[in-house]
């Protein structure tokens, strides 16, 4: 996900201060991974430099407070990003696969590795299910997305466990 484009999209509803953008981002998208204020302001500085936002200063006696507003170029950037489909991930470079192969190549217990991973996946699925049950529709949607991916991983773990002997034999036959 592009933080810059997401901040631009949030600005489409109207000008905001950096801390308001951070709070909105964290509420909508930052579950378990909140933005740092430094990242927000560095991103806003880049967007300003690129002409995608502009600064509206607020009059007052206190410190210089800046409100950021999206420009027409920024709206176009968001529209382009939203209309472009995301490339489905093929997962051909997968850490779990690499661990299984390395375990087999080094004589370690790949079945144990798969069991430990299965346990971790199930724990994460229980957490997501609790969050989904207690959450609003947005939480339900993002949790469903994650749960479907974890279910696919579990199917892969089971299939791999069933094929460990075949994989081991095939790896031994390679030069």
Mean pLDDT calculated for residue range 82-88: 85
Q: Are residues 140 and 70 in the same domain?
A: no
Tell me whether residue 89 is in a domain.
Answer: no
- b or e along 47-63 (b: 16 or more beta carbons within 10 Å of the residue's beta carbon)? beeeebbeeeeeeeeee
Mean pLDDT calculated for residue range 45-56: 96
Q: 157-173, pLDDT tens digit by residue?
A: 999 999 999 999 998 88
Domain at 64, CATH number: 1.10.10.10
C-alpha span between 137 and 160 (Å, rounded): 34
Number of Cα atoms under 13 Å in the Cβ half of residue 19: 2
pLDDT, position 174: 81
Q: Which candidate, 87, 85, 100, places its Cα nearest to that of 153?
A: 100
pTM of the model: 0.70
Tell me whether residue 88 is in a domain.
Answer: no
Please give the residue range of the domain that contains residue 59: 3-83
Tell me whether residue 168 is in a domain.
Answer: yes
Number of domains in the chain: 2
Q: Is the pLDDT of residue 37 over 60?
A: yes
Tell me whether residue 164 is in a domain.
Answer: yes
Q: Are residues 47 and 118 in the same domain?
A: no
Q: Is the pLDDT of residue 89 over 80?
A: no
Are the C-beta atoms of 23 and 40 separated by less than 8 Å? Answer: no
pLDDT, position 175: 74
Q: Which of 83, 113, 129 is the last residue of a domain?
A: 83
Q: Which of 83, 103, 124 is the last residue of a domain?
A: 83
Tell me whether residue 146 is in a domain.
Answer: yes
Lowest-pLDDT choice from 56-60, 65-69, 121-125: 56-60
Q: What is the DSSP letter of 54?
A: E
Mean pLDDT calculated for residue range 40-54: 96
Distances in whole angstroms, Cα of residue 69 to Cα of each of 8, 21, 154: 9, 11, 45
Q: Are residues 31 and 102 in the same domain?
A: no
């Amino acid at each position: 996900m592009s933080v810059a484009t997401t901040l631009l999209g949030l600005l489409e509803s109207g000008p905001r201060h950096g801390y308001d953008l951070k709070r909105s981002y964290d509420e909508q998208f930052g579950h378990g991974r909140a933005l740092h204020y430094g990242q927000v302001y560095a991103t806003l500085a880049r967007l300003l430099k690129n002409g995608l936002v502009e600064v509206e200063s607020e009059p007052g006696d206190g410190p210089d407070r800046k409100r950021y507003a999206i420009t027409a170029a920024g709206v176009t950037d968001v529209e382009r990003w939203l209309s472009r489909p995301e490339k489905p991930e093929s997962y051909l470079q997968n850490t779990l696969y690499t661990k299984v192969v390395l375990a087999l190549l080094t004589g370690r217990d790949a079945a144990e590795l798969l069991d430990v991973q299965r346990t971790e996946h199930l724990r994460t699925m229980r957490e997501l299910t609790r969050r989904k049950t207690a959450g609003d529709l947005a939480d339900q949607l993002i949790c469903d997305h994650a749960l479907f991916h974890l279910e696919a991983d579990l199917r892969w773990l089971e299939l791999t466990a069933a094929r460990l002997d075949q994989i081991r034999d095939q790896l031994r036959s390679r030069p």
